[in-house]
Amino acid sequence: MKTIAIDNDNFIVPSKWNDLAPEQVMTLAKLVQQNASYFNISVKFCLYLLGLKPKLYHPILVDGESLYYVRGKSNKNKYLLSTAQVHALVKSFSWLFVSHRDESDTITMGVNPLVNYNPVKDIKVRFTRLRGPDDVLGNLSWMEFIFAETFLTRYNMTGDIKWLAQFLAVLWRPLKDGNILPFEQSKVERQACRTIRINHNTALVATWFYAGCKAFLAKKYPRALGGSGGRKQSDPFEGYMDLTVTLAKTDKASPDSVLGTNLHFVLKSLDIMLQQQQQQKR
């Protein structure tokens, strides 16, 4: 968290993704879904985090500079912000976004999701409560990860909502006696008939959480998630299965036992295996 001063008042605001409360992450998702410019999204979200709202007044000119009224939730505190102050506020939340430059030198903005706690742990769809993964995907098996990766990649490539629904069906499953039902590949398509009803904002936050966990895992296990195993292919399933067979041979285990192993344990094993291979080549 960090402190921002406006006039004589101090505001405590988040300074990184994991400082954001679940409802704050959801609010950002709602703003992004409005398809506004990222500057406008940034301004609205900054004011929201500060607990401020813009007044519906025209800006006033002071010494040739436009000043904007904003007010606190209690409506007692009112502030005049210059254009420069608004830009400074937006800049202080730059960690929320990332810029991309394409081959034509065009710069586009996007969300840079680095949240690795689950803001949407429980999702209710009609009369069913679905439970999602633990923070940093701590309770995921290697098999669940492979299918989640595959379906999300297919969704990102095609935009077909059925793949997003299957991604969600892999990771968010019904509860029985307080425990999440085990993952069964044969039931994914049927369960996707339920997860396709999850509202767009919640589904977006779910993908942000997953992306944030992937970034965390890539930093923790850089060799395992550093581009090996076919992850540059259009569909990563085959590459991950090749990795599974390779790891099974190395550990003298069956591929099925590797698929059922905890994700973090598999990534750690892969990281060690690849490190040893690099050392042998020297």
pLDDT at 55: 72
Indicate whether 191 and 169 sit together in one domain: yes
Identify whether 116 is part of a domain: no
State which residues form the domain around 25: 2-111
Q: 117 lies in a domain?
A: no
Which phi and psi (to 5°) does residue 97 adopt?
-130, 165
Number of neighbouring beta carbons within 10 Å of residue 86:
20
Per the CB < 8 A criterion, the answer to whether 67 and 59 are in contact is: yes
Residues 161 and 107 in one domain: no
Residues 126, 263, single domain; the answer is yes
Nearest Cα neighbor of 194 from 222, 219, 221, 169 is 169
What pTM was estimated for this model as a whole? 0.92
pLDDT in tens, the chain (282 residues): 999 999 888 999 999 999 999 999 999 999 999 988 888 899 999 999 999 987 756 778 878 788 888 988 766 788 889 988 999 998 999 999 998 777 777 777 899 999 999 999 999 998 899 999 999 999 999 999 999 999 999 999 999 999 999 999 999 999 999 899 999 999 999 999 999 999 999 999 999 999 999 999 999 999 998 654 434 456 889 999 999 999 999 888 999 999 999 999 999 999 999 888 888 887
Phi and psi at residue 260, in whole multiples of 5°?
A: -90, 0
Looking at the structure, do residues 153 and 216 belong to the same domain, yes or no?
A: yes
End residue of a domain, out of 89, 111, 133: 111
- 130 shares its domain with 105: no
Residue 62, token pair as written in the block: 């002071």
Whether residue 194 sits in one domain with residue 54: no
Handedness of CA 213, 217, 219, 220 (dihedral sign): positive
Helix (H, G, I), strand (E, B) or coil at 123: strand
Q: Do 12 and 84 sit in the same domain of this protein?
A: yes
For residue 176, being part of any structural domain is answered with: yes
Is residue 265 in some structural domain? yes
Number of domain units in the chain: 2
Residues pairing with 81 in the sheet? 68
